[in-house]
Structure 1
């Protein structure tokens, strides 16, 4: 099938929010006496907040009593941080205009809660481009499971093999490929040489550099 649909991840791809997620996680985890290293943090990039919290609460043997409270607190803190200092990633306007001119259906599939997706869309002013958004917040499984991408494709009335996805994380890349979609990876500059990106169909240093079609 010919490609006619593009689905974007959000955090770290459209908005420079990954450092803000890490700041929020650091602030909340310190309340429990935990300090994550950057290396530890990036191993769980792309997971939903509840999975991220559960992973590290289990790792540090913090118990389950505070899981939900910690998850909600991180989300509250990161929304506030994004509203105050979230910055658009390079090439976002370019890539949206590129696919709109090609008459592609455009969607967002994110691990973040719908509340945060709506905040970012409003901040970036990109609502007119979008035909659908999908959040993994309440799914049985988040990325690297493909369901959020499959859900977005369904909302866009597209077959998975008609879709090209843009991601910045390993978990997101695996989710897109598991959904049988093409995947363009735009990793953080510090991870550009990571051999794991070999599973992607294309690797870029910026959205601004995409010019396949």
Structure 2
């Protein structure tokens, strides 16, 4: 019996194995169904601050980053003495606690990541979320060993759709963008990845941009579970005998 070990990326490249460019995954809306987590945290923290948050206002915050969402809520609640920075920190802390306690994993995400890792495919987690929230997910799901690196846009500078975060991830992976893929759920994410030279598999999260995202992507799917077999086919299992070692015991 043999145990298959992940093959180092430099050996994959020397062997000419398809897919040595790797996969860059977005986090929120792609691997993690985080929108409900953010919704509950925003509602809870706004209520504690005495802010009125109607369903329409909550829907208007969907897709905005934390700072933009807070500005919108405060504009709709004139005269309230609320520090935006403190409210933002409270929301971020509550989201982090919820993600650590019960990360809402997209169906098929864990199995897909573990299989790609088993096949020796280099992966990066590329997110617009703050580093603390990325770490909450990695810790809560024991995913950190699966990724070569994780990167937040706040660590690079400009956010998506600027390509900087994907370009930096590819640089650190030492990966060929023409041989790799990004998996994204928004137009901003697609434009960011495409600007760095990656092909994009899209799984639309927001109905208002779903059609445009599907038309712009290199491949499009209704769910990560649907995308998984297709993505695994781009990165076939290794058959080089050097990556199989005898089992011990």
| TM-score above 0.5, yes or no | yes
Root-mean-square deviation over aligned CA pairs = 2.8
Q: Figure out how many residues of one structure are paired with residues of the other and give that number.
A: 207
**Does residue 164 of structure 1 match 2:181?**
yes
- Aligned counterpart, 2:210: 194
- 1:15 to partner: Cα distance: 1.9
- Aligned counterpart, 2:220: 203
**Aligned equivalents of 1:59 and 1:105: distance in 2?**
44
> Alignment partner of 2:106: what SS?
coil
| Bigger Cα Rg | 2
Pick one of 95, 98, 105 that aligns with 1:78: 95
> Alignment partner of 2:60: what SS?
helix
Q: Could you state the TM-score of these two structures normalised by the residue count of structure 1?
A: 0.82
Is there any run of 5+ residues in structure 1 with no aligned partner, and where?
A: none
- 1:132 to partner: Cα distance: 0.7
- Shift in alpha-carbon separation, 1:25–1:156, aligned structure 2, 3 A: same
> Alignment partner of 1:141: what SS?
coil
Q: Could you state the TM-score of these two structures normalised by the residue count of structure 2?
A: 0.71
- 1:163 to partner: Cα distance: 2.9
- Aligned counterpart, 1:131: 148
Pick one of 143, 162, 186 that aligns with 1:145: 162
- 1:160 to partner: Cα distance: 3.4
- Aligned counterpart, 2:244: none
Pick one of 106, 116, 119 that aligns with 1:99: 116
> Alignment partner of 1:194: what SS?
helix
Is there any run of 5+ residues in structure 2 with no aligned partner, and where?
A: 1-17, 235-249
- After the TM superposition, which residues 23-38 of structure 1 pair with which residues of structure 2 at under 5 Å, given as runs? 23-30=40-47, 31=49, 32-35=51-54, 37=56
**Aligned equivalents of 1:99 and 1:176: distance in 2?**
20
- Shift in alpha-carbon separation, 1:52–1:144, aligned structure 2, 3 A: farther
- Aligned counterpart, 2:243: none
**Aligned equivalents of 1:35 and 1:180: distance in 2?**
41
- Aligned counterpart, 2:13: none
- 1:129 to partner: Cα distance: 1.5
